[in-house]
Structure 1
């Protein structure tokens, strides 16, 4: 057994996020484990760029109101307790609603060669607004 101390809160990089987003890394796998877990807090209106994950991603909403949107137009409105899985290669974005913060646990794995997330272009204001209407 190993106790992992709380890590400092970091601001998410502006090249991959719109708005203010805070990240607390929880776990980074070692040895056989390739699991990565982070608590991510989005301020109102904040969201990720379009991106995809080599081994998929699981998001578990812990607080607030948010969205997960896939490139095919599917929109999931997140509330506390909701869990969304995006399969490997599915292009998507996620973040807070216009009016509320949203926090989620982001859980994903790296491949054996260390690949995990491929970042793409920012979500346009029109795409972000349209997701709220869906």
Structure 2
């Protein structure tokens, strides 16, 4: 068993190659093999979002605070709120982030494939795609 005490893991700004706006990440767990689970607490400033991406084994998002958006390729964004959980199947192109006027924090949980790979990053989400009216 391993316990990591609160406040002992650093927060870091997310890589701008994969995000638009300011996004903070805090690693929660990166389990040792044979386990594959990885989880991050991700906090998006208003208007911040991921680039388009996929996950080889899928991804679960659980909203902790704020109001966010999540969208599939060619689909309008969906509003997500605290307590909402989103399952994104393997290989599905999507993005997620904060709503234009509010911050949003979610837990992002995914598994690594056999090569340790958790995501395939694509192009940044355009302002037009981000600005589509939510369903």
**Which interval holds the TM-score relative to the shorter structure?**
over 0.9
Structure 1 residues without counterparts, runs of 5 or longer: none
Question: 1:27-85 deviations in whole A, cap 9, x for unaligned?
Answer: 00102111000000000000000000000000000000001100140532110000000
**TM-score for the superposition, normalised by structure 1:** 0.95
Whether the 8 Å contact between 2:77 and 2:134 is mirrored in structure 1 is no
- Residue-pair matches, total: 133
What residue number does 1:10 align with? 12
Please tell me whether residue 39 in structure 1 is matched to residue 34 in structure 2: no
Provide the C-alpha distance between the structure 2 equivalents of 1:75 and 1:133, rounded to a whole number of angstroms: 5
**Root mean square deviation of aligned Cα:** 1.1
**TM-score for the superposition, normalised by structure 2:** 0.95
What residue number does 1:91 align with? 93
Provide the C-alpha distance between the structure 1 equivalents of 2:123 and 2:26, rounded to a whole number of angstroms: 24
SS at match of 1:126: helix
Aligned pairs (5 A) from 1:19-38: 19-38=21-40
Provide the C-alpha distance between the structure 1 equivalents of 2:77 and 2:21, rounded to a whole number of angstroms: 20
Deviation beyond 6 Å, 4+ runs, structure 1: none
SS at match of 1:38: strand
Return the match for 2:114 from 112, 115, 123.
Answer: 112
Provide the C-alpha distance between the structure 1 equivalents of 2:116 and 2:49, rounded to a whole number of angstroms: 24
Aligned pairs (5 A) from 1:59-78: 59-78=61-80
Provide the C-alpha distance between the structure 1 equivalents of 2:114 and 2:80, rounded to a whole number of angstroms: 31
